[in-house]
Amino acid sequence: MRKSLVALLLVAVGGVAQAAVQLKQGHPEQYRVVKGDTLWDISGRFLDQPWKWPELWHANPQIENPHLIYPGDTLSLVYVDGQPRLMLDRGESRGTVKLSPRIRSTPVAEAIPTIPLEAINSFLVNNRVIDSIELFEGAPYVVAGNAERVISGKGDRVYARGQFDEELPAYGIFRQGKTYLDPETGEFLGINADDIGGGDLVATEGDIATLRLNRVTQEVRLGDRLFPTEERAINSSFQPSSPATDVQGVILDVPRGVTQIGQFDVVALNRGARDGLAEGNVLAVYKTGETVRDRVTGERVKIPDERAGLLMVFRTYDKLSYGLVLQATRSLAVLDKVRNP
């Protein structure tokens, strides 16, 4: 028999949230955290709906940073005033070590992440979406390489043409990738700017700037565009939740180019911040039902859409967003539908 569970998860607040969630059939009474765990995986051991873990966790006031969980910690289901809650017992891994010659203390273990960050790190740090064609086409561009080179690498000098801000010490270098259009309305959603590298601004003369390449992911070519470093906080700690509004969209693209989408693949969605999506929002993925011929009547009949997975939005732009597939019961594909879980 499933029980109703009330509590608070991963947010340090004073009271206990009064909301009911369903424990998973066969859930453990106790679990010891190990290296490689994610909060999503652990919540999935206890709940049928892992994104509802803010209602699962009881933050122990006697523990510093109770919203962080580390390898070696033990999670236990207990009952307080007749209500089941998940409690935390700190393990031994949170000790400190002293480093010489300068004495300082560092944690032995790092807190486990919400989701596997290695799957999305490149999108968090270097990915860029330009939401205006005019903005992309008006950006400065590489016009020449040193000694008339057409391709350049780390440490090389390149020359770019356009309007530069001399107070900006460095620029990112990007190449035009896919142009995203809404498959339902045809609306322009943005240009995926593929990260190529970065360069330090050495000098400017008129509309020509000299840059020294300090980082490259691939060879810099003539025509690559330059944009200032994006001033945006990098969020790597997510609190999964349902969207605050009704969201209905589709998988727009798979940036890594695969055709069959599975667990831990990154997908682009045709919905963004203007549609009410926020980082951490969880969406269900539905396979579009096929249209078949009814052999009795001869009519064309559409089979109902079938729920086939879950994803979590980890980066939002105005008109589109990126999500990580966390569950997939079958292969997913571009144009599969997404909606509130």
Question: pLDDT by residue (tens digit) across 311-320?
Answer: 999 999 999 9
Lowest mean pLDDT among 9-18, 38-47, 78-87, 170-179: 9-18
Confidence class of residue 190 from pLDDT cuts 50, 70 and 90? very high
Burial 312-332, CB ≥16 within 10 A → b, else e: bbbbbbebbbbbbbbbbeeeb
pTM of the model: 0.74
* Predicted pLDDT of residue 37: 84
**What pLDDT digit, counting tens, does each position of 209-249 carry?**
999 999 998 899 999 999 987 655 555 667 788 899 999 99
**What pLDDT digit, counting tens, does each position of 76-129 carry?**
877 767 666 778 887 665 543 333 333 333 344 577 777 777 777 767 666 788
* Predicted pLDDT of residue 147: 82
Q: Would you list the domain boundaries of the chain? A: 4-89, 123-228, 248-339
Which residues are within 8 A (CB) of 47 and not within 5 positions of it... i.e. 6 or more apart?
A: 5, 21, 22, 23, 24, 27, 53, 56
| Average pLDDT for 153-173 | 90
* Predicted pLDDT of residue 235: 59
- To the question of domain 123-228 being in CATH 2.40.128, the answer is no
Confidence class of residue 74 from pLDDT cuts 50, 70 and 90? confident
Tabulate helix, strand, coil % of the chain (nearest 5).
Answer: 10, 40, 50
φ/ψ (deg, to 5) at 120: -125, 0
* Predicted pLDDT of residue 271: 96
CA gap 128, 149 in Å, rounded: 26
The CATH superfamily of 248-339 is: FlgT, C-terminal domain (2.40.10.410)
Provide the mean pLDDT of the chain: 80
φ/ψ (deg, to 5) at 44: -65, -20
* Predicted pLDDT of residue 65: 60
DSSP string, 102-157: S--EEESSPPPPSS-GGGTHHHHHT-EEE--HHHHHTS-EEEEEGGG-SEE-TT-E
* Predicted pLDDT of residue 95: 46
* Predicted pLDDT of residue 16: 35
Query: Hey, do 123-228 and 248-339 end up sharing a CATH topology, with the first three levels equal?
Result: yes
